[in-house]
Amino acid sequence: MAKVHPNTEAYCAAGGVEVADEGKDKSRVLTVWRKSLLFNCRGFTVFDEEGNLVFRVDNYGSGRAGEVVLMDADGKPLLTVRRKKLSLGENWKIYDGEDAVDPVYSVKKQYKSRFHVKSALARVAACRRRKGGAASGYEVEGSYSRRSCTVYDERRRVVAEVRRKEAFRGVGFGDDVYQLVVRPAADACLAMAVVVVLDQMFG
């Protein structure tokens, strides 16, 4: 089997959205594997450019319906994704850690291939805008099922992208191994949580 973690030298030369600058600031190229490290359990395993484990989801499909916990390499809960009950259309909430009280982001399907991610904390969003910090809202466009979608901030700047992983020595990876390209100023954890939501919708 071809190695799953990315070959950044070869990948950064691939076409599509520019993923790296010519200097010290480079986008992170993460490899997402739709497979749990635990036996007989569905989930995600996410590696960085060096092949180090970054994120994992080991309770996917084994916990409560409509709930997924994104963890770091050591198994510490980072974000919890839950589907909003009794809502029209696809509506998901993202919580900090395993908190079930106040969501920090919400993801809502707007059109067939467009989704809106916005801060659920109005005060935090306003403060971020005033201080010029991280965006309080994002748009996701494209097709997750084809592993081709882009995350834009409020100024229509690309902050993350899901795309197919290039074949390694002539061996393809299929739909279960793909790449998440995260810009330097973007939150990789939030980007991965959005991927989890998209996978719940279309996986």
Give just the sign of the alpha carbon dihedral 83, 85, 87, 88: positive
Separation in Å, CA 4 to CA 16, 30, 33, 68, 75: 21, 10, 8, 23, 21
The pLDDT mean for the chain works out to: 77
Quick: pLDDT tens for 58-114. Answer: 865 545 557 889 999 999 999 999 988 766 667 889 999 987 778 889 998 877 677
Residue 8 has pLDDT above 60, yes or no: no
Residue 4 has pLDDT above 70, yes or no: no
Quick: pLDDT tens for 20-46. Answer: 343 445 899 999 998 887 777 778 999
| Total number of residues shown for the chain | 203
Quick: pLDDT tens for 114-159. Answer: 788 888 664 444 444 444 455 568 999 999 989 999 999 988 999 9
Listed residue (160, 166, 165, 120) closest to 141, CA to CA: 160
Domain chopping of the chain, boundaries? 8-202
CATH code of the domain occupying 8-202: 2.40.160.200
Per-residue pLDDT, 15:
29
Three-class DSSP category at 173:
coil
Quick: pLDDT tens for 147-199. Answer: 999 999 988 999 999 999 887 766 677 788 999 999 998 899 999 999 999 98
